[in-house]
Amino acid sequence: MDTLPPNAKETFWTSIGKVIPKDAQVYVSAKAESPKDFLDAMERTPESVPSAEQAYVIFVDLQPEANWAHECLYVYVVSDGSLFAVKHDWPPNEKHEMTPMERPQEGAPSIS
75 domain-assigned: yes
pLDDT in tens, 6-57: 789 999 999 999 999 999 999 999 999 998 899 999 999 887 766 778 999 9
Domain carrying residue 17 = 8-100
As for how many domains the chain has, the answer is 1
The answer to whether residue 84 is domain-embedded is yes
Supply the pLDDT for residue 79: 85
Q: What is the helix (H) or strand (E) element at residue 85, kind and residue range? A: strand 83-88
Residue 23 confidence (pLDDT): 92
In a domain, 76, yes or no: yes
- pTM for the whole structure: 0.87
Residue 2 is assigned to a structural domain of this protein:
no
- The rounded radius of gyration (Å) of the Cα atoms in the chain is 13
The reply to whether 106 falls in a domain is no
Give the tens place of pLDDT for each residue, 79-99: 888 899 999 999 999 999 999
Give the count of beta carbons closer than 10 Å to the beta carbon of residue 6. Answer: 10
